[in-house]
Amino acid sequence: MILSNEEKNILLSIAFKSIEYKIKNNRKYKIEKSSLTSNLKKNTATFVTLYVNDELHGCIGSLKAFRPLAEDVLYNAFSAAFEDYRFNPVKESDLNQLKVEISLLSEPVRILFESEADLLEKITMYKDGLIMKSGKSQATFLPSVWEKLPDKVQFLQKLKEKAGLPSGFWSDQIEFFKYNVIKIS
């Protein structure tokens, strides 16, 4: 999907307003759907990542496209600001330092591999986001995580840990999917 600069700015505005409106009015912000472009109405999976003073302060998203892009951004921005259990909710005093980053996800593609070494060969650093599934355990890392974990082995180990599994875990039933993102900030 190719978005115009205006559409990107609308998405960033929706994300910020969703947070600001909750803080100032104690209610959820509603989008005027009739004013949205056709791109913003297409079902699209997104992640919204928040930074306060350049420090991560929330990241929530969708791995599957099941609602319109503008609504997914609205919902995920609200969730990242107020429901990411790893961080305190965003406060009014955070708004001036709040930076919003939106990632639009491509459709995840299953990776076929024969071993962990084969899997690592099929991952492109800095480009691929990765989803790991094993039984009831699941986790994902956006491509931006490569900036903090620029080693394929470490990236995979930390992804397993995020899913609640040991870093050395391996199983014949483990599944991996990769995706790309369009980043808006």
Q: Same structural domain for residues 93 and 117?
A: no
Whichever domain contains 126, its CATH number is: 3.30.1490.150
Residue 100's pLDDT is 98
Residue 1's pLDDT is 82
Q: Which of 105, 129, 158 delimits the end of a domain?
A: 105
Domain of residue 149 covers 109-180
* Number of domains composing the chain: 2
Helix and strand tally (H, E) in the chain? 5, 8
The pTM (predicted TM-score) of the whole model is 0.92
Q: How confident is the model at residue 63 (pLDDT cuts 50, 70, 90)?
A: very high
Q: Same structural domain for residues 149 and 84?
A: no
For 116-162, write each residue's pLDDT tens digit: 999 999 999 999 999 999 999 999 999 999 999 999 999 999 999 99
Q: Which of 105, 138, 162 delimits the end of a domain?
A: 105
Q: Same structural domain for residues 83 and 159?
A: no
Q: Which of 80, 105, 130 delimits the end of a domain?
A: 105
Tell me the CA distances in angstroms from 30 to 60, 67, 97, 136, 139, one per residue in order. 19, 15, 24, 34, 30
Show Cβ contacts of residue 155 under 8 Å, excluding neighbours closer than 6 positions: 123, 125, 130, 141, 145, 146, 149
Q: Same structural domain for residues 74 and 114?
A: no
- The sign one gets for the Cα dihedral 13, 15, 18, 23 is negative
Whichever domain contains 56, its CATH number is: 3.30.700.20
DSSP state of 5: H
Residue 66 domain flag: yes
Query: How many residues would you count in the chain?
Result: 185
